Structure formats: C-alpha cells, structure tokens
Amino acid sequence: GAVVSQHPSWVICKSGTSVKIECRSLDFQATTMFWYRQFPKQSLMLMATSNEGSKATYEQGVEKDKFLINHASLTLSTLTVTSAHPEDSSFYICSARDRKIFNTEAFFGQGTRLTVV
Amino acid sequence: AQKVTQAQTEISVVEKEDVTLDCVYETRDTTYYLFWYKQPPSGELVFLIRRNSFDEQNEISGRYSWNFQKSTSSFNFTITASQVVDSAVYFCALSEANAGGTSYGKLTFGQGTILTVHP
C-alpha cells in the first residue's frame, strides 16, 4: 500500500513551453501533497505545499506564477512549469500524506526529470 | 527554523567495511521526526527509517543501524559490512510536528552524502 505515482518520469521540452507533472496517490487519499525540487548533485528543497481544494502554499523564493499547483481531488496534485527555461531543468519529486494515518512518513513519487532545451 | 547538516559530502569505502553517515539537526520544536532516505542513481527516494523525538532507542535492521542522540542533536546511520549495492546518495531529513505529535509532513533535507562502495 501507500503508493504514490508520478508522471511522467522524464520529459524534455523546448524553452518557452509549459510542462505538467502529475502526482497521484493510488491507494490512499491525500489532503496534502508536497513538491520538491532537486538540482543536480544538490539536496531536495521544498517548493510548495499543495492542499486539496485550496491554494498552494509556496516557499520563499518560489514563483507561484511560474510553478502552478492544482490539487483538485484527494488523489491528484499537478505541478505545471510555465514558460520553462533551461534553468528550470531539475528533478521534481512529490510526496503525499495519507489523511487517515497520522505520524507516518510522507510517501514519495518516483520523481520527474525535466530537461528544458 | 529547522536545519539538517550532513557534513560528509562523499564517502568511499571498500566492500565489507563498516561506514557511518553523520547527521546533525537543529529545531526549536520538542516534537519532531527524523528520517533517512536512500537515493539510488535512478532518483527515487527509498525510505529507510523514521524516528520520533521521544524515542531515543537505537534501531537495527539487518546491516543498518541508527544511533539517535538527542543530547548532541545527532541521528547517525551505520551500514555494517557494506556492499556495492549500498552505493547511493543518503539523505537525512527532519519533519516538525505539532504538540500532539502529528507530523506536518514536509521535510527539511540535509545536503546528502554520496556513498561509493568499491568491490
């Protein structure tokens, strides 16, 4: 149980286009999901907290108009990188909390490797 | 604000050696959770352990063991008899929690330690 599926696993896009990444909790409901970004050879940094049915909370320094987050259902959150540029190339990974189980680890998706050319 | 420090950027050992990965954390909360994750080259995060701030018992799982020292704010991870398959990046992470012990869910990660085990 507790599977989080992230799609796509990797994507290459042209500079100036937008890319959508999906994060799905397959066997549990998640009122809260988290989006992290990892640049090559660096740590994971929290970008935003996605709350079902409400606006996402962004960490300082993360542009909310560039990284659009939608959490329209209890099993799906999406991150859209708008007008992507090469500096947005990174590994994006989501995690989700099971709304019924407290004090458990956050379950991570497989991650999405984005390359902007 | 919380902070996690993994002072060892890279460690290189020969197979069958024991290796310890250090983790030091900072938080103002009395209730928090500490984690270790393994990140192989494919990128996914493999959960290894979660420990709450009230449980200082050391834990052993096969070749893995963890030493939690609240007095020094450390949560070190030891791999005994390392194997080539242990080669990966290892992250220590911290999650703060409310007074009731419910984790907020979001993690603060350390910088990661790249472990290379040579045959």
Residue-wise DSSP of B52-83: ETT----EEETTEEEEEEGGGTEEEEEESS--
* B115 close contact with A: CB closer than 8 A: no
Residue partners of B87: CB distance under 8 A and separation at least 6: B115, B116, B117
Reported as a pLDDT band with limits 50, 70 and 90, residue A1 is low
Are A44 and B107 in contact (CB < 8 Å)? yes
CB-defined contacts A:B, below 8 A: 59
Are B95 and A108 in contact (CB < 8 Å)? no
Fill in the DSSP letter of residue B44: P
- Determine the residue type at A9: S
Query: Worst-scoring range by mean pLDDT, A15-19, A59-63, B46-50, B54-58?
Result: B54-58
Q: Which of B45, B110, B111 sits opposite A93 (nearest CB)?
A: B45
So what's the pLDDT on residue A51? Answer: 87
Q: Which residues of B touch A32 (CB under 8 A)?
A: 105
Q: How far apart are CA A70 and CA B91, in angstroms?
A: 28
So what's the pLDDT on residue A104? Answer: 67
Reported as a pLDDT band with limits 50, 70 and 90, residue A89 is very high
Q: How far apart are CA B9 and CA B5, in angstroms?
A: 10
Q: Does the pLDDT at position A100 exceed 80?
A: no
Query: Worst-scoring range by mean pLDDT, A19-33, B27-41, B99-113?
Result: B99-113
Q: Does the pLDDT at position A76 exceed 70?
A: yes
- Cβ atoms A70, A90 nearer than 8 A: no
β-pairing, B32-39 vs A112-116, is unpaired
Q: How far apart are CA B117 and CA B119, in angstroms?
A: 7
Which whole number is the average pLDDT over A88-113? 87
* Residue to test with chain B: of A62, A105, A113, most B Cβ within 10 A: A105
Q: Which residues of A touch B44 (CB under 8 A)?
A: 108-111
Q: What number of helices (H) and strands (E) belong to chain B?
A: 0, 12
